[in-house]
Amino acid sequence: MNMSEDYDSHIQITQGILRPFAHRMVVTYEGKSDKTDAVYVFSLSTGLIREEKIPTFGTKENYYDVDIEHRLSSEIEGPFGLAISHLKDPQTKEKTLENREEVQAIRRYMIFSLIRAQRNHANPQIKSFLKGFGKDLAPSQVLKTFLVQKEVVDPFQGMSLALLHNDSPVEFVIPFNCLSIANTPRGDLIFFPFTPKDLLLLSPSDEDATILDLGEEKDEERVRSINNFALGTEMVNTQLIIGKTKDELLRLESLYSKAKRQ
């Protein structure tokens, strides 16, 4: 990338995460039709569901500096993508579940999803973690701090990582900030759907850093409950929820409309 060129940064959710949620959309330009990858997006601020092309969805020109773009790609997104591709492959899944290096790559991606998100979470642990990063700091400055610190800072310390496969007819949706947070009496649960059928869960536990395999979730209502946490999280954040199809987004739109009327 030329230092003088303008470029679009994906400010929060990356193309690698968007692709499993994408469908093919027909676009027409200068009388010619073609297809591109797109996602369905429910905007809480407008109440509308729209299609967005994933190369341009959630981007802002020159949001991160070039060095940060490269470091995010090589140090955060690349290792995560490799670990996730192994998790999705039955032949390499078991090795990844026990591979501490790949587990750390997954946890690190989740940490950076939190760092990149809007910093207005109600969660006390996360508030404490993000304290001191004022609005006067540019996004690149915030990320550069944590890229340098590497493993020193971990807001998810004391939480174990679990993998859950969705075997129900209902698909997971994903919030724009990637992570959904649920407050429970035992502590916070943090959900990260990385495909419509696969989810990573952080929860309070004494387990070590390896991933626990929770198996398959067949209960439609429990999947809908997890999707409801995405709605609750985005009600105080960027207010965008992404789905592969419109079905769950329409249900969440109805749920949100009812909540606003009460």
pLDDT in tens, 23-81: 988 776 766 767 789 999 999 999 999 999 998 898 888 778 888 888 889 999 999 99
Q: Are 252 and 228 within 8 A, CB to CB?
A: yes
Specify the pTM: 0.86
> 172 falls in which pLDDT band (50, 70, 90)?
very high
**Count of Cβ atoms closer than 10 Å to residue 63 Cβ:** 18
What percent of the chain has a predicted confidence (pLDDT) above 70?
A: 84
Secondary structure class of 238 (helix, strand, coil) = coil
Q: What is the pLDDT of residue 24?
A: 87
> 154 falls in which pLDDT band (50, 70, 90)?
confident
Q: What is the pLDDT of residue 173?
A: 97
Q: What is the pLDDT of residue 116?
A: 76
d(CA 208, CA 205): 8
Residue (of 7, 20, 25) closest to 178 by Cα position = 20
**Count of Cβ atoms closer than 10 Å to residue 208 Cβ:** 10
- Strand 212-217 versus strand 159-166 pairing type: parallel
